[in-house]
Amino acid sequence: MRIGIDARKIADSGIGRYTQNLIEKLLEIDNLNEYVLFFQPEDSPNYYYPGRNVRKVI
């Protein structure tokens, strides 16, 4: 399954921190699904999520 996550508001506090932790934990436990992360251009280089099942969209 392909799962899209809006990571445009990712940050070091509030809902952005929650989103960041959610992505990290999902990628730790799930290697069957493909995750597509949607970023703002200015935020994309700041966050790296390793894995073959992750794709960034800017």
| 3-state secondary structure at position 21 | helix
Spatial contact of 43 and 16, defined as CB atoms under 8 Å apart: no
The residue written with tokens 């932790």 in the block is 21
Is the pTM of the predicted complex or chain greater than 0.85? Answer: no
Structure tokens at 50: 């390793």
Domain total in the chain:
1
The string of pLDDT tens digits covering residues 6-42 is: 998 888 889 989 999 999 999 999 999 999 999 888 8
Spatial contact of 51 and 27, defined as CB atoms under 8 Å apart: yes
Write out the residue range of the structural domain in which residue 16 sits: 2-57
Spatial contact of 10 and 42, defined as CB atoms under 8 Å apart: no
Look at 32 and 45; give whichever has higher pLDDT: 32
